[in-house]
Chain A
Amino acid sequence: MVTAGQPQLLLGDLLERARREIPAAGADELEAQRVRLLGRKGELSALLRGMGALPAGERPAAGAAVNAARDEIEALLTARREAILREARAAELGGAPIDVTLPGRRIAARGRRHPVSEAQDDLVEILARMGYEVAEGPEIELDYYNFEALNMPPDHPARDMQDTFYVRPPAGARTAGPILLRTHTSPVQIRTMLARPPPVRICSPGKVYRRDDDPTHSPMFHQIEVLCVDRDITFGHLAGTLDAFVRGFFGEDFRVRLRPSYFPFVEPGAEVDVTCTFCLGKGCRTCKGSGFVEVLGAGLVHPRVLRAVGYDPEEVSGFAFGCGIDRLAMLRSGIDDLRLFFENDLRFLEQA
């Protein structure tokens, strides 16, 4: 097809054909064109080989012409290849969309946290940022740690505030006084202070038990207790810490309000109200129109408690506060029946 002797003429034909055919070639055809034109045994190679017959003076020019033709053909091929890909992509993208409204698939359903344990984690974290370390203690306690060391000797009327479950001691065992289910996490205060000298900054979350069962009281619930003992700790520090604690949990717009109250292990003692989460302080049925709900008990650690653990109330002072984690979780998530937390109904748990 290509013969030596007419290289210029043939080169012209060849280029002209390539310019005509390549832009129209399909994907398969394109590779055939490349082989035929540029392959080792292709037409351009043949032309080059034929140039040996040319006079020496013409050879450089002829060679340059062939190289220019090769470049042009390669450019044509590349352009066509890209055009074909673009068309194919355009065809793919232009088709009918899938039904994106079909449900997504899960390998496993997402497991949820229990609202109380999640609230407990949040509280511990808020307190950790304020310098409080987690301290734990037994739920089955001795009367001494739960009451006596907390300034509630036997026959103290304040014991009525916490109706107590007593545990039957094991047969034949000699125990150091009555055994009970702790009615608050305050015994952890005592155990911690007995174990180490001041300063102390701890929070103790955990289960507590009271002999009560109705929509707002359950025989088991969760409490977190905070204790800070150091030199020159004041009631003002208690108020400031409560404020930070409550804002950390509920949000910056929430306020605390302290009212005098009585817990035998603190003095002065306070009941702490927080902006009502239902009406945000405007007043509603939940808060009986006051804009506040009662959530915490607090106070300065009673000197008798400090002395009971071997601290000197002239040297150090401290504050303590404690609250129901369940109650905080209820307020935060708008749950009105405490017992929902412990029924573990999947229809409830799945809402988390």
Chain B
Amino acid sequence: MRISLAWLADLVALPPAAELAEGLTFAGLEVERIEEVGDDTVFEINVTPNRADCLSHLGIAREVSARIGAPLRAPPRGSLPRAFPGPQQALSAGRGGDLLPRAPAGASPVSRGAGDGAGEAGPGSLPAWLARVPAPPRIDAPDRCGRYLGQAIAAPGKGAFAAPSPPWMQARLAACGVRPIGLAVDVTNYVMLELGQPLHAFDLSAVQAIVVRTSREGERLRTLDGNAPRLVPGDLLICDGERPIALAGVMGGEASAVTEESSALYLEAAWFAPEGIRRTARRLSLHTESSHRFERGVDPKLPERALERAVRLLFGAVAGLTAAPPQAAEGRLPSRRPVVLRFARVGRLLGAEVPAEESRRWLGALGFVEERRDEREVELAVPSWRFDVDGEVDLVEEIARLRGYDRIAPSLPGSGRPPAAPAWQRPLALARAVFSAHGFHEAVHYSFVSRGDGDPAAPVELENPLGDEQAALRGSLLPGLCGSLRRALAHLPQVAGRPPAVRLYESGRTYGWPAADERTTGPARERWRLSCLAYGPRSPVDWGRGRGGEPVDFFDMKGLVEGLAEALGLPAAFAPSASPWLHPRQAASLTIGGREAGVLGELHPDLAERFELPRGVFVAELSADLLLAAYRPPRFSGVPKFPAVLRDLALVVAGDVTAAQVEAALREAGGALLEAAVLFDLYAGPPLPEGHRSLAYSLRFRAADRTLTDAEVAAVHAAIVAAAREKLGARLRG
């Protein structure tokens, strides 16, 4: 909201600009910018949605007055036709309003010249145009339209209402960021900026009888912006009889707009219920100055004052205007209940001593009226413009903000129960340490991915995405990591002719829909994953080891995953995997305690192509939920008391026998005495038979309670060889 200080000074005495800005900011009306516009100063004030009453110069003036104690001034009265019927007078006729022929004698239309001159039509000489003054307005949706005031005004000829408004008015509008258009529109905008009441001016020739009603299915209205949005039941309309002429509180219709051709207009000042205006404005994306105010709440007592002010301004600007008396119709206004403040509650919530007197003084300055009071509490009528106040705590806030938050001394609440650390905290730190030690940088990607088109990998889609590339929520962390690799390869330089080494990991959620019988905390299934990607040379280039730089392979990724499992104290098992993300020949699943905890391997070549990546990208996607929950803190068991015996063993097996099978056979036959079996060589080729390979293990035997004899070791070694032969057809390598 842009506030002109020159304008504001019409309404209240002002302190110097800098002091005023600080005062407003620390009363909750943040002055975001101060601008010099000609010889005026303009504040850009951030008005929070609860303070609709501050969307005008009057509203800001009230705040200034309450905070510094300066009395409010009435805006300059400007010109008002003599014998002009005051709104109260007109309204006294009650619901249904007045039509001139039935109006009391004193309420005759009057014209007069601009400025202070006299010039008026004598009583009884009613101009011909009054034949066209509409029937009194009718409200068919009383819960949606609490009041409707209208007034017809005629000029002696065409063009006066579309002519430029006075320069001073244009200057103030421009200072507030509103483009001057023509007198009628400028006056409505001026009054809105001054008092906060949105007004609308119709061409009188388009108005026979105002009816305020809700829309019917399929109705259309061409609005001032040139569109003809489809209306739905519940949109509030201003109609001329049956025909919609404005989208109430949002935007006027094109056909009833004031133009060069207009010689008379019908001014509207109404109160519309906020929720309905907001629904329509949002659905049609029609955010206007008017809807902005109505959906936040306009003072229901404002229409009379605003209408009178508008008429005064018009009369001041154009000579020879004639005005009919205002017409009014009443709907239902929301009832406002008084609010009780217990004096002790103020200090108890703020943690500061606030005397009852002081509380009363601040609230009085804001326009709250005491209806009942005793030692303990006071009952207050809420000013009609304060829609945001409906409870005691709202009053506490008013007192706190006007006193100043800085007058509340900071303190700390007493200590509570020491908090429990989340179970995942330590294992996550351990996992991070493993990634870090292996050179993996942590990445954080957007949760958005491009629309899945039914892709089961990203089934959760957004209704209103920012774009196609961000239309769904990720079902895997891998696309994000692959994207970052692609960008890295585009800009990272090679070193000594080798591709850059890229290592990334991410800890984050993936999203999907739960199965029919699945229980989830929120509406969707959110899984926590720990995923990583490795590409490029296994170790950094250095000057000592030459320039080997072999690219990472499956076993580097597996070594990382094993390291993670080890850090978490978890026994890991691996088996071939059919993950669609992975190269079918280089894909493994990780199993922890019989449950699948993730997959790892080479990125599937088809996917590498789709992500525009070279071959040789290795990835792992692990379940953080499972791994971190399974964490076992380390247990220690002293050091062995008896020596170990080492034996090497090389077994030749057929190519389809896996290392896991060989190791299982070794362990089973070796029993408790076989402490470790470390694979130290793998060989295939001559002189081994075609399709065979040799696995060489260093076996370590030890007993916990004695030194093993040669005979014992020989026996268990022989048993191992025999078992390998029987189970796997293995023979010793000669």
| Chain B positions within 8 Å of A232 at CB level | 348
A232-B409 Cα distance, complex, nearest whole Å: 15
| Chain A positions within 8 Å of B295 at CB level | 155, 157
Contact check, B443 vs A269: say whether CB atoms are below 8 A apart. Answer: no
A230-B524 Cα distance, complex, nearest whole Å: 32
Contact check, A111 vs B443: say whether CB atoms are below 8 A apart. Answer: no
| Chain B positions within 8 Å of A168 at CB level | 460-463
Contact check, A344 vs B484: say whether CB atoms are below 8 A apart. Answer: yes
Contact check, B411 vs A262: say whether CB atoms are below 8 A apart. Answer: no
A261-B48 Cα distance, complex, nearest whole Å: 7
| Chain A positions within 8 Å of B351 at CB level | 234-237
Q: Which residues of A178-202 are within 8 A (CB) of B?
A: 179, 181, 191, 199, 201
Distance from A219 Cβ to chain B, minimum over Cβ atoms (Å): 6
Known pairs A142-B523, A219-B446, A219-B470; A237 contacts B28 (CB<8 A)? no
A258-B409 Cα distance, complex, nearest whole Å: 12
Within 8 Å by CB of A114, from B50, B348, B442, B487, lies B442
Within 8 Å by CB of B274, from A116, A157, A175, A234, lies A157
How many residues on the B side are at the interface (Cβ–Cβ under 8 A)?
97
Q: Which residues of B321-370 are within 8 A (CB) of A?
A: 348-352
Distance from B416 Cβ to chain A, minimum over Cβ atoms (Å): 5
| Chain B positions within 8 Å of A207 at CB level | 447, 508-509
Within 8 Å by CB of B421, from A103, A128, A244, A261, lies A128
Say whether B299 faces chain A, with CB atoms less than 8 Å apart. no
Q: Which residues of A219-244 are within 8 A (CB) of B?
A: 219-220, 228, 230, 232-237, 239-244
Q: Which residues of B are in contact with A by a Cβ distance under 8 Å? A: 25-28, 30, 48-51, 274-275, 278-279, 295-296, 348-352, 391, 393-394, 396-397, 400-401, 405-406, 408-413, 415-422, 425, 432, 435-448, 459-466, 470, 473, 480, 484, 487-488, 491-492, 501-505, 507-509, 511, 513, 520-524, 526, 539-540, 542-545
Contact check, A258 vs B405: say whether CB atoms are below 8 A apart. Answer: yes
| Chain A positions within 8 Å of B480 at CB level | 344
A168-B459 Cα distance, complex, nearest whole Å: 10
Say whether A285 faces chain B, with CB atoms less than 8 Å apart. no
Distance from B347 Cβ to chain A, minimum over Cβ atoms (Å): 9
Known pairs A140-B526, A233-B413; A109 contacts B501 (CB<8 A)? yes
Contact check, B543 vs A140: say whether CB atoms are below 8 A apart. Answer: no
Question: Contact flags (1/0) for A137-166 with B, using CB distance below 8 Å?
Answer: 111111000000000000101101100011
A-B contact count (CB 8 A): 269
Determine the residue in chain A with the shortest Cβ distance to B278: A155
Contact check, B397 vs A344: say whether CB atoms are below 8 A apart. Answer: no
A230-B541 Cα distance, complex, nearest whole Å: 58
| Chain A positions within 8 Å of B440 at CB level | 111
Contact check, A131 vs B49: say whether CB atoms are below 8 A apart. Answer: no
| Chain A positions within 8 Å of B416 at CB level | 131, 199, 201, 230
Known pairs A114-B444, A349-B442; A262 contacts B409 (CB<8 A)? no
A101-B295 Cα distance, complex, nearest whole Å: 71
Contact check, A131 vs B418: say whether CB atoms are below 8 A apart. Answer: yes
Contact check, A138 vs B446: say whether CB atoms are below 8 A apart. Answer: no
| Chain B positions within 8 Å of A176 at CB level | 523
Within 8 Å by CB of B410, from A103, A141, A240, lies A240
Contact check, B507 vs A117: say whether CB atoms are below 8 A apart. Answer: yes
A108-B556 Cα distance, complex, nearest whole Å: 12
Question: Contact flags (1/0) for A241-267 with B, using CB distance below 8 Å?
Answer: 111100000000000011111101001
Question: Contact flags (1/0) for A109-144 with B, using CB distance below 8 Å?
Answer: 111111011000000000010111110111111100
Contact check, A139 vs B279: say whether CB atoms are below 8 A apart. Answer: no
The 7 A-B residue pairs whose C-beta atoms are closest, nearest first, are A138-B522, A234-B351, A236-B351, A260-B28, A262-B48, A260-B401, A268-B397
| Chain B positions within 8 Å of A213 at CB level | 466
Contact check, A260 vs B27: say whether CB atoms are below 8 A apart. Answer: yes
Determine the residue in chain B with the shortest Cβ distance to A187: B522
Contact check, B484 vs A167: say whether CB atoms are below 8 A apart. Answer: no
Say whether A327 faces chain B, with CB atoms less than 8 Å apart. no
A136-B522 Cα distance, complex, nearest whole Å: 11
Distance from B495 Cβ to chain A, minimum over Cβ atoms (Å): 12
Distance from B389 Cβ to chain A, minimum over Cβ atoms (Å): 10
| Chain B positions within 8 Å of A113 at CB level | 432, 436, 442
Say whether A350 faces chain B, with CB atoms less than 8 Å apart. yes
Contact check, A131 vs B417: say whether CB atoms are below 8 A apart. Answer: yes
Determine the residue in chain B with the shortest Cβ distance to A163: B464
Within 8 Å by CB of A141, from B438, B492, B523, lies B523
Q: List 18 A-B contacts (CB under 8 A).
A: A114-B444, A130-B412, A131-B417, A132-B419, A140-B524, A157-B296, A230-B416, A232-B348, A236-B350, A259-B405, A260-B397, A262-B49, A268-B393, A269-B397, A270-B405, A271-B30, A300-B393, A344-B487
Q: Which residues of A are in contact with B by a Cβ distance under 8 Å? A: 102-103, 105-114, 116-117, 128, 130-134, 136-142, 155, 157-158, 160-161, 165-170, 173, 175-176, 179, 181, 191, 199, 201, 207, 209, 211, 213, 218-220, 228, 230, 232-237, 239-244, 257-262, 264, 267-271, 300, 302-304, 317, 341-347, 349-350, 352
Contact check, B420 vs A117: say whether CB atoms are below 8 A apart. Answer: no
Known pairs A166-B464, A259-B30, A268-B400; A102 contacts B521 (CB<8 A)? no
A138-B473 Cα distance, complex, nearest whole Å: 13
A105-B25 Cα distance, complex, nearest whole Å: 57
Contact check, B405 vs A344: say whether CB atoms are below 8 A apart. Answer: no
A153-B238 Cα distance, complex, nearest whole Å: 27
Within 8 Å by CB of B412, from A139, A241, A258, A269, lies A241
A111-B488 Cα distance, complex, nearest whole Å: 16
A334-B393 Cα distance, complex, nearest whole Å: 39
Central interface residue in A113, A161, A259, by most chain B CB within 10 Å: A259
A47-B260 Cα distance, complex, nearest whole Å: 144
Distance from B273 Cβ to chain A, minimum over Cβ atoms (Å): 10
Distance from A228 Cβ to chain B, minimum over Cβ atoms (Å): 6
A102-B545 Cα distance, complex, nearest whole Å: 13
Within 8 Å by CB of B443, from A107, A160, A257, A344, lies A344
| Chain A positions within 8 Å of B446 at CB level | 218-220, 342
Determine the residue in chain B with the shortest Cβ distance to A268: B397
Known pairs A166-B462, A341-B444, A344-B444; A259 contacts B439 (CB<8 A)? no
A350-B502 Cα distance, complex, nearest whole Å: 11
Distance from B279 Cβ to chain A, minimum over Cβ atoms (Å): 6
Contact check, B470 vs A167: say whether CB atoms are below 8 A apart. Answer: no
Determine the residue in chain B with the shortest Cβ distance to A177: B523
Given contact pairs A107-B539, A300-B349, A345-B491, enumerate 8 new A-B contacts (beta carbons under 8 Å): A114-B442, A134-B425, A140-B524, A141-B522, A157-B49, A236-B410, A242-B410, A258-B405
Contact check, B397 vs A103: say whether CB atoms are below 8 A apart. Answer: no
| Chain B positions within 8 Å of A102 at CB level | 543
Contact check, A117 vs B444: say whether CB atoms are below 8 A apart. Answer: yes
Distance from A170 Cβ to chain B, minimum over Cβ atoms (Å): 5
| Chain B positions within 8 Å of A269 at CB level | 397
A350-B28 Cα distance, complex, nearest whole Å: 42
Within 8 Å by CB of A165, from B413, B441, B462, lies B462
